Amino acid sequence: MKTQKPRIGHGYDLHRLEKQHPEGPGRPFILAGVTLEHVKGPVSHSDGDAVYHAVTDALLGALGEEDIGQLFPDDAPEWDGEDSAIFLKEAGRRVAEAGFDIGNLDVTIICQKPKIGPHKGAMRQNLAEILATSPEDVNVKAKTHEEVDAVGEGRAVEVHAVVLLFPKG
């Protein structure tokens, strides 16, 4: 990247949630690397971590690069069930390689259940660790959809992420 000025990126992800399979545990509900106890899990190709997906897209967007679906296609067998931390690490690597540091990252998780509040600290820590930044530069918020639409009815989880990048040095 030639431009060395601050850059902002926005990322978004949404996954449908389905009940776990009766004959097995099904796909666990993972957000920001934290496995949440819940009767439903995401319908996805990878592990379905909507936070890591949204943050990956925010970082790639700030750099003006392709999005997560272009870099890690959901029809590629090698990404089936894969830990989404791999995608986030690659986006973080690209940020560093382009000569940027994370100024701050702000994430909003929207889901009716389970409650996110008790897990926000661990989520912030996981994000900060993968992105080699301070937890003070990472914020995680949670909202419900007040029982409106698929998210509010507990049939989906939605995540928005905004990141500010600064040139190194």
Indicate whether 58 belongs to any domain.
yes
pLDDT for res 23: 56
pLDDT for res 89: 98
Find where tokens 């790639």 sit.
Answer: 60
Could you list the mean pLDDT of each consecutive 10-residue stretch along the chain, which spans 169 residues? Answer: 82 92 72 94 90 98 94 83 93 97 98 96 98 97 94 95 95
CATH of the domain at 77: 3.30.1330.50
List, as one string, the DSSP characters of the chain.
----S-EEEEEEEEEEEEEPPTTS--S-EEETTEEEP-SEEE--SS---HHHHHHHHHHHHHHT---HHHHS-TT-GGGTT--THHHHHHHHHHHHHTTEEEEEEEEEEE-SSS--GGGHHHHHHHHHHHTTS-GGGEEEEEE--TT-HHHHTTSEEEEEEEEEEEE--
Indicate whether 60 belongs to any domain.
yes
pLDDT for res 1: 46
Indicate whether 1 belongs to any domain.
no
pLDDT for res 21: 62
Indicate whether 82 belongs to any domain.
yes
Indicate whether 86 belongs to any domain.
yes
pLDDT for res 3: 55
Domain hosting residue 25, numbered range = 7-167
pLDDT for res 19: 85
Overall domain count for the chain: 1
Indicate whether 54 belongs to any domain.
yes
pLDDT for res 80: 79
Indicate whether 2 belongs to any domain.
no
pTM for the model: 0.94
pLDDT for res 57: 98
Indicate whether 56 belongs to any domain.
yes
